[in-house]
Amino acid sequence: MLVTKTPGTALTSINETMLNAFDAFNEYKKVLPEQKAIFLETIANEIEALGDTLINKASEETNLPAARLTGERARTTMQLRMFAAMVREGSWVEASIDTSIPDRYPVPKSDIRKMLIPLGPVIVFGASNFPFAYSTAGGDTASALAAGCSVVVKAHPAHAETSIMVYEAIKTSIKKCGMPSNVFQHVNDEGFETGKALVQHPATAAVGFTGSFSGGKALYDYAFERKNPIPVFSEMGSINPVIFFPDTLEKNSEELVKMYAGSVTLGMGQFCTNPGLMIAIESDALNIFLENLSEEVSKFIPSKMLHEGIQQAYIEKMEKALSQKGVTLIKKSTYQSNGIKTLPAIASVSGETFLKNPTLHEEVFGPYSLMVKCKDVNELKEVWQSVAGQLTTSLMGTDKDFNDHKELIEIAPAIAGRINFNNPPTGVEVCPSMVHGGPFPATTDSRYTAVGINGVKRWVRPICFQNCPEYLLPEELKNKNPRKIMRLINNQHSNGDVE
């Protein structure tokens, strides 16, 4: 039997971990919403109480600067409190009530009521590039706990000690709030067999993953090898194509250069929303923009990447892309320093060549971007539509551009989950309206988001009660509505009681 070590315990089998998670789920799903909300808020408080010790450890393990990590920790605790507010408000369960019509002719209508309920134990795989926001207590964990699921996190080995510190903060919160002791468990093991065993255990109900295509697709395949397949929500990267329309290149070139030099190099390009692909129609204005963009990027002072594996992968993939026939390296960063090999770079290629070479469609995870120079708007459209599903796509244009190219704008929703207008793709606002997802292979299920309160919908399913006695109904579906949550009653939204 596969075994793994969890912090603070002896060697524990995956089977025992998952059985503990299942038992904890059966207790936790009955916990009242107010108690769940307090639990989530307590986790946020305990993470903040770790102070600079946590920030320093994360910086040591990831090479990320303290300022970036401080902001990411704030985002993480904000997410926890956001889900606490959602749980407390209560309407997220989407309660729906259709009362009976016993004298309906020719067939009487039954009383039918529906709401969302939690799936069961959720496995969360920590991400390498976000040691807080997409890891141990990140959005997947916060949303799963909010849904009423137990959680088992497989820590990312790139920041294992940081993950343990956050784990201990969650365990402290469990004790303070009187939650089931195994509602959250932590697995710290580098072996891929451990991940496979977690996904394929019969008690596992769903999986959350942020990382590479190969890793996310493997987990997806493991889940469908099971006797009872389960949902896997993998976010697997993106090249985030950016369209630069002609009029804005003529009028706003300087602003665009600053914006996109910053976006390409932000965090050493280690974001799933990095603008790895730019597309425009050939023109003198495009040549000037590209020259100035490359010059701006060349001045960027690079830093170490998250770990040696990511650094080596960036070098290899960039060199592979640049070695392709027809690809021109415009400029790399001119910075010289021992140990810093991951230099930002801007390259270009013709639309015709790009369309013929699938290698150029692949993500280069790091501060690299490829400009595709198209001969006309038809080729631009063809290039844009040739890329696989994306997390984001961006449209940079003036009002004239948008009015002149309405047929192109109509294409955008088929390409990505988030459409940016005159904004860079980097920077994901955590709010109810955000969609962080997109068509395959950006994610394994484009119907869901990994950011914002709607992320909770990954970990729930609808349940229907027909002609159920009032006393057996969940609180959310009873005639009385003591929490005053918004419900759909006979096709009318109301927070009142059933008459």
pLDDT at 192: 78
Read off the pLDDT of each residue in 24-28 and give the average, rounded to a whole number. 98
How far apart (Å, rounded) are the C-alpha atoms in residues 163 and 169? 10
Q: Is the pLDDT of residue 23 over 60?
A: yes
pLDDT at 336: 65
Distance of CA 326 to the CA centre of its chain: 34
Q: Which DSSP string corresponds to 423-451?
A: S-S-----STT-----TTTTBS-TT--SS
What would the two tokens of residue 458 be? 């990954």
What would the two tokens of residue 179 be? 């939650």
pLDDT at 237: 84
pLDDT at 189: 78
Q: Give the Å distances, CA to CA, from 211 to 125, 135, 156, 324, 381.
A: 9, 11, 10, 26, 29
Asked if omega into 106 is within 30° of 0 (cis), the reply is yes
- The answer to whether 464 is a known catalytic residue is no
Task: pLDDT band for 451, please (50, 70, 90 cuts).
Answer: very high
Q: Which is it for strands 487-489 and 492-494: parallel, antiparallel or unpaired? A: antiparallel
Q: Is the pLDDT of residue 341 over 90?
A: no
Asked if omega into 202 is within 30° of 0 (cis), the reply is no
User: What's the CA angle centered on 357, arms 353 and 361, to 5 degrees?
Assistant: 105
The H or E element that residue 265 is part of is helix 253-265
How far apart (Å, rounded) are the C-alpha atoms in residues 112 and 96? 8
Helices 192-200 & 14-28 angle (0-180, nearest 10): 40
How far apart (Å, rounded) are the C-alpha atoms in residues 438 and 447? 8
Q: Find the catalytic residue in 61, 272, 296, 379.
A: 272
Q: Is the pLDDT of residue 2 over 50?
A: no
The per-residue pLDDT of the chain, averaged, comes to: 93
What would the two tokens of residue 361 be? 């469609």
365: DSSP letter: -
pLDDT at 11: 36
Q: Find the catalytic residue in 235, 363, 379, 476.
A: 235
Q: Are 278 and 383 in contact (CB under 8 A)?
A: no
Q: Is the pLDDT of residue 1 over 90?
A: no
Ordered domains of the chain (ranges, CATH): 3-236+446-460 (3.40.605.10), 242-421 (3.40.309.10)
109: DSSP letter: B
How far apart (Å, rounded) are the C-alpha atoms in residues 196 and 213? 16
How far apart (Å, rounded) are the C-alpha atoms in residues 92 and 146? 10
* First-last CA distance in the chain: 57
Residue 243 pairs in a beta bridge with 279, 395
How far apart (Å, rounded) are the C-alpha atoms in residues 347 and 323? 11
Residue 420 pairs in a beta bridge with 394
Whose structure tokens read 């918004």?
486
- The answer to whether 272 is a known catalytic residue is yes
Task: pLDDT band for 9, please (50, 70, 90 cuts).
Answer: very low
Task: pLDDT band for 338, please (50, 70, 90 cuts).
Answer: low
Count of beta carbons in the 10 Å neighbourhood of residue 97: 23
pLDDT at 8: 37
Whose structure tokens read 């799933």?
272
pLDDT at 337: 61
pLDDT tens readout for residues 238-278:
999 999 999 999 999 999 999 999 999 998 889 999 999 99
pLDDT at 304: 86
